[in-house]
Amino acid sequence: MLCLEKVSLRRQDKYILKDIDMCFEPGKRYVVLGTNGAGKSSLAYTIMGLTDYRPTEGHIVLDGTDITDFSVFQRASLGITLLWQEPARFQGLTVRQYLSLGGKISVEEKELKEVLSVVGLSPNLYLNRMVDELLSGGERKRIELASVLLLKPKYAIVDEPDSGIDIMSLNMIQDVIQLIQDRGGTPIVITHREEIALSAEEGFLLCNGSIWKKGKASELIEYYKERCDRCEHANAPVTEEGENE
């Protein structure tokens, strides 16, 4: 199990994240909901272990081991991966080379073609194309989704998966998330889109860097639609009386 225990991230006198308590059970599908600026991406970067996002308080624990001070690469070797909201650019690599991490991992041709097909790209057209020069942002996002499938992670943090992808591709995103789960992984989907959150089982609602609510995803989505979507105060959900808390 992957757990954050009283995790806070502070910059000078400002809390980016505060007292985050959450656990992710293997095999379940999770969603982290929140409006823009609620701290969702900061949470993703903290779980992944980016240098500027090391907790100032609390601990991150994976299967009983404290990984709070582990590097990104150490966490990746333990099965944690992150799909970035903005796809990375790597100069001088073909799609084939990118998916095999520059040839560092052995991937069968059949599997390369399979994952590209899942994300809606023709293997014959894309495998030998250059990642950095000839692909749109949406195409690069699809290739990153394919790379996550190839890694077969234990915990896949998927940050705003629909960013840069047209509305017609939501079914493809759901297929990718389902395949991660079918392969034994635990998808953690970070989004402000209700459509993306619908298929999750459990979830967390972030507001102003803190967990506002947790529980069944369906209940969180209803709350989010009724309160957060119409909230006029940044990251402060509306109360039942119509006031900001």
Whether the predicted pLDDT of 24 surpasses 90? yes
d(CA 4, CA 94): 37
Structure confidence by residue, pLDDT tens digits, 137-154: 778 778 888 888 888 899
Structure confidence by residue, pLDDT tens digits, 108-125: 888 889 989 988 889 888
Exposure class string for 105-115: b at 16+ Cβ within 10 A, else e: eeeeeeebbeb
Among 176, 237, 235, 185, smallest CA distance to 26 is for: 185
The more confident residue out of 74 and 228 is 74
What pLDDT does 242 receive?
A: 47
The more confident residue out of 68 and 146 is 68
- Whether the CB-CB separation of 20 and 47 falls below 8 Å is answered with no
